[in-house]
Structure 1
Amino acid sequence: MPVKKVTRDEVVLKALGVFHQLGYHHTTMQDLADSCGLLKGSFYHYFDSKESLMLEVLTGIGEYMHAKVFVIAYNDNLSGKEKLEKMFVKLEKILRYNEEGGCILGNMTLETARIIPEFAVILKAIFLEWAAALKYIFQEKYAAVDAERLAWETLTAFEGAVMMAKLFDKPDFYQDCYRKTLQIFN
């Protein structure tokens, strides 16, 4: 019997925080159960495995990014620079969910992409959509081929900046990347 009642969505949200903090491989089912206030045995009523839970976490992140972040790129009432500013504000909020956690997408890519192909499929889809959103923004000022190159450069620079900010505990890496990206429209 659970220590408290929680919904499946609450379990996914709590699991996101645990995976973000501990990583996939260092997270135990006990860690996940504890974060939800559940007994370990009760946790299996929600998810039969850590992998199935992580698949749902990644899917949820993708849905959130699509609905709340990437959609900004296609708002033609905003300039390219305004779109980038709004997207980065949303992305920063996501990262601040757990400041020492870095980017959960980058973390899970590095930790699991070559080991758990199902995760890689979802992660690739998210990054491809992110690059497409950036490309759309950059096409306001650049030809498609240049916009695509800039999109991937921006995305990889952003992920690298987040990783370095995490490693050196210096958020300025992220802020510098943000400022440099905005200069594309100056």
Structure 2
Amino acid sequence: MRKIIEKVDLVDIAAGLFRMKGYSATSIDDIAKACGLTKGSLYHHFAGKEELAVAALEQVHQFYRGTIFAIIRDSDAPGVKELEAFNLAVERFFTDHPHGCLLANLSLEIGGAADLFSPKIKRFFEEWLDCYMVVFSRYFPAEEARHQAQDAVAIVQGCILMNRIWRNISPLRRQHARLLASCTAATLS
């Protein structure tokens, strides 16, 4: 068993376990064992599982913000090209993380029960929605762009769930192709 020194590594391992097993089914013992630490060493870094889960949510969000959301957010005039790069980054992430979206999984598992998690999860999905809105606003009237963005997040998350169940990224790729086609078709009309 290797010793994990970096706090970021602890959070990454915990996030993986939460994704794979679920929050409720993952114990502090599971996390400590996966990290090669004693429970006491883990408690040195985090007060408990809830604090560790919050750190995992924040770490995933920061990753998305810095590498995936940034594709659209940091572009001067994001369009089809940026949406395609965004889509590919999402596909790569979920190919590498086949157990699904930590934030969606946790939201489904806890429902509205954990007020500590809900605002963080909501903020993550609002940012994802905003990315789509920025792109779709170039191709559709405001109300339609908002509806397209809401539907895109919902359908993409459904595809991510299906990838978790069947280990098949193809539905996500097809949905991403539809998003690109809808923007291209709007440009032509």
Q: Tell me if TM exceeds 0.5.
A: yes
Two-structure CA RMSD over aligned residues (Å): 1.8
Matched residues in 1 for 2:111 and 2:117: separation?
6
| Distance of 1:5 and 1:170 partners within structure 2 | 32
**Contact 1:21–1:98 (CA<8 Å) still a contact in 2?**
no
Q: Which residue of 2 aligns with 1:112?
A: 110
Percent identity, aligned pairs only, is 26
Residue 52 (structure 1) aligns with:
51
CA distance in 2, matches of 1:184, 1:71: 22
| Aligned equivalent of 1:148 | 146
| Contact 1:4/1:38, CA 8 A, preserved across alignment | yes
Q: Is the 8 A contact 1:113 1:119 kept in 2?
A: no
| Matched residue, 2:16 | 17
Corresponding residue for residue 82 of structure 1: 81
1:73 is the counterpart of 2:33: no
Aligned counterpart, 2:172: 174
For structure 2, the residue ranges without an aligned partner over 5 or more in a row are 185-189
Alignment partner of 1:115: what SS? coil
Q: Could you list the runs of 5+ residues in structure 1 that have no partner in the other structure?
A: none
Q: Does 1:63 align with 2:57?
A: no
1-structure distance, mates of 2:18, 2:146: 31
* Shift of residue 77, structure 1, vs aligned partner: 5.3
Distance 1:79 1:112 in 2: 35
Give the Cα–Cα distance (whole angstroms) in 2 for the partners of residues 36 and 15 of structure 1: 9
Encode CA deviations 1:113-160: one digit per residue, 9 max, x unaligned. 312111111000010111011100111111221111110110000001
Instruction: Report the alpha carbon displacement of residue 105 of structure 1 after superposing the two structures with TM.
Output: 2.0
TM-score under structure 1 length normalisation: 0.91
1:130 maps to 128
| 1: CA distance, partners of 2:104 / 2:153 | 11
Paired position in structure 1 for 2:35: 36
Q: What SS class does the counterpart of residue 117 from structure 2 fall into? A: helix
Q: How many residues align?
A: 184
Deviation at 1:30, TM superposition (A): 0.9
TM-score, structure 2 length as denominator?
Answer: 0.89
